[in-house]
């Protein structure tokens, strides 16, 4: 579990993270979204104790992480920027980290295998592609079988096979009861993997919710309806809060009523319906709406 309370990080008079509070629960994958520069990586570095908060607290599994007796058992982290030594082989990079916690070679070989790096384990990491570097970083994060796993842009640079691997990995980590906190720019990827969402804009919390609610709350496109009897359908649906927009195509756009309500009402009055399609906002649309608002709000507020 990660508990963040009133977390603030200032560089000079610019706040990279501003009064952030949220909780990342174990057992589910929590996605961390926000435009570039929203403060995601800074937050993740503060979780790992690499950056010191200006104010506020971060607790990992109920503890102040830098005080943890066995840090690798508590937290495994993949940071955005590369954090491996190019002069060391993949195996030695992992071994150097493993040694600090008394983790043996067998476990190192296990995560090498798990990350699909067995064939390049002896190769110096400097020659690695971005994708292989990511795999090595993920392997490092898993090394200590940590209770909490934090990954910054894990699918960055991965091939489709690697993306699939990360997706399955995150879900099974969560299924084991671990806390999984992942940032990504790939909304479609996040929609498939995450259950919960923490959305950040300009260093502030915009939303802490489930993926379902986040998408549902975003102004959806309503329901697209095709019928030969437009006028009668309007009568049937007439109610406060329901709008029917006829933009001249043969598809009406109805908002303020669900597809189920529209279908049932039309069936009762014998209005034929040829098509009835709920137009869900995608996670990407929802994200754009929500963060756009925050950007505008903050831009206005600083004037």
Partner 1 sequence: MSALGLAPKGPAPTVAGPVTQVRVIRAEWTKLRALRSTWYCALIAVVLIVGLGAAIAGSGAPYHVSASNSAAGAVSISLAGVMLAQLVLGVLGVLLFSGEYGTGMIRATLAVVPSRLPVLWAKLAMLAALVLPLSLLAALAEFFVATALESARGGSAISLTDPGVLRTVAGAAVYLTVTAVIGLALGALLRKTAGGLAVFAGMFFVVPIVAAYLPHNISGFAPYLPSNAGGALWGAGKLFGGHQLGPWAGFAVLAGYAIVLTGLAAWRLRRRDA
Residues lying near partner 1 in the complex (CB under 8 A): 26, 45, 48-52, 65-73, 75, 77, 79, 81-89, 92-93, 95-104, 107, 110, 114, 140, 142-147, 168-169, 172-173, 175-178
Report in angstroms how near the CB of residue 129 gets to partner 1 at its nearest. Answer: 16
Write the CA distances from 246 to 236, 249, 261, 274, integer angstroms: 15, 7, 19, 16
Report in angstroms how near the CB of residue 169 gets to partner 1 at its nearest. Answer: 5
Give the residue among 57, 60, 112 at the shortest CA–CA distance from 90.
112
CB-nearer residue toward partner 1: 174 or 283: 174
CB-nearer residue toward partner 1: 96 or 187: 96
CB-nearer residue toward partner 1: 34 or 53: 53
Report in angstroms how near the CB of residue 115 gets to partner 1 at its nearest. Answer: 11
Q: Rounded to 5 degrees, what are φ and ψ at 33?
A: -115, 155
CB-nearer residue toward partner 1: 94 or 266: 94
CB-nearer residue toward partner 1: 86 or 272: 86
Report in angstroms how near the CB of residue 74 gets to partner 1 at its nearest. Answer: 8
CB-nearer residue toward partner 1: 155 or 237: 155
Report in angstroms how near the CB of residue 241 gets to partner 1 at its nearest. Answer: 46
Report in angstroms how near the CB of residue 6 gets to partner 1 at its nearest. Answer: 19
For every residue of the chain, DSSP letters joined together read: -EEEEEEEEEETTEEEEEEEEEEE-TTSEEEEE--TTSSHHHHHHHHTTSS--SEEEEEETTB-GGG-SSHHHHEEEE-SS--S-TTSBHHHHHHHHHHTTT--HHHHHHHHHHTT-GGGTTSBGGG--HHHHHHHHHHHHHTT--SEEEEESTTTT--HHHHHHHHHHHHHHHHTT-EEEEE-S-HHHHHHH-SEEEEEETTEEEEEEEHHHHHHHS----EEEE-S-HHHHHHHH--TT-EEEE-SSS-EEEESS-HHHHHHHHHHTT---SEEEE-PPPHHHHHHHHHHHHHHHHHHHT-
CA 133 to centroid of chain Cα atoms: 21
CB-nearer residue toward partner 1: 101 or 231: 101
Residue found under tokens 């790096």: 117
Report in angstroms how near the CB of residue 201 gets to partner 1 at its nearest. Answer: 23
Report in angstroms how near the CB of residue 29 gets to partner 1 at its nearest. Answer: 12
CB-nearer residue toward partner 1: 98 or 271: 98
């Amino acid at each position: 579990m990660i508990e963040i309370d009133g977390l603030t990080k200032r560089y000079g008079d610019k706040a990279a993270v501003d009064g952030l509070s949220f909780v990342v629960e174990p057992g589910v994958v929590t996605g961390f979204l926000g435009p570039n520069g929203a403060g995601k990586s800074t937050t993740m570095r503060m979780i790992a104790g690499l950056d010191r908060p200006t104010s506020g607290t971060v607790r990992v599994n109920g503890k102040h992480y830098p005080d943890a007796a066995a840090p690798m058992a508590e937290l495994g982290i993949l940071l955005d920027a590369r954090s491996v030594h190019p002069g060391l082989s993949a195996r030695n990079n992992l071994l150097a980290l493993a040694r600090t916690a008394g983790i043996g070679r067998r476990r190192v070989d296990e995560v090498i295998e798990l990350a699909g790096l067995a064939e390049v384990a002896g190769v110096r990491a400097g020659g690695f592609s971005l994708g292989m570097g990511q795999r090595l970083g993920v392997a490092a994060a898993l090394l200590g079988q940590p209770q909490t796993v934090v990954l910054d842009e894990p699918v960055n640079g991965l091939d489709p096979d690697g993306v699939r691997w990360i997706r399955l990995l995150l879900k099974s980590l969560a299924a084991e009861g671990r806390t999984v906190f992942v940032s990504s720019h790939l909304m479609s990827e996040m929609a498939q993997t995450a259950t919960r969402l923490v959305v950040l804009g300009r260093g502030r919390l915009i939303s802490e919710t489930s993926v379902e609610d986040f998408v549902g709350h975003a102004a959806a496109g309503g329901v697209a309806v095709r019928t030969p009897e437009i006028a009668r359908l309007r009568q049937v649906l007439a109610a406060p809060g329901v709008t029917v927009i006829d933009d001249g195509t043969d598809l009406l756009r109805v908002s303020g009523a669900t597809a189920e309500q529209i279908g049932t009402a039309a069936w009762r009055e014998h209005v034929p319906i040829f098509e009835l399609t709920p137009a869900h906002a995608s996670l990407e649309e929802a994200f754009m709406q929500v963060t756009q608002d925050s950007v505008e709000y903050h831009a206005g507020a600083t004037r």
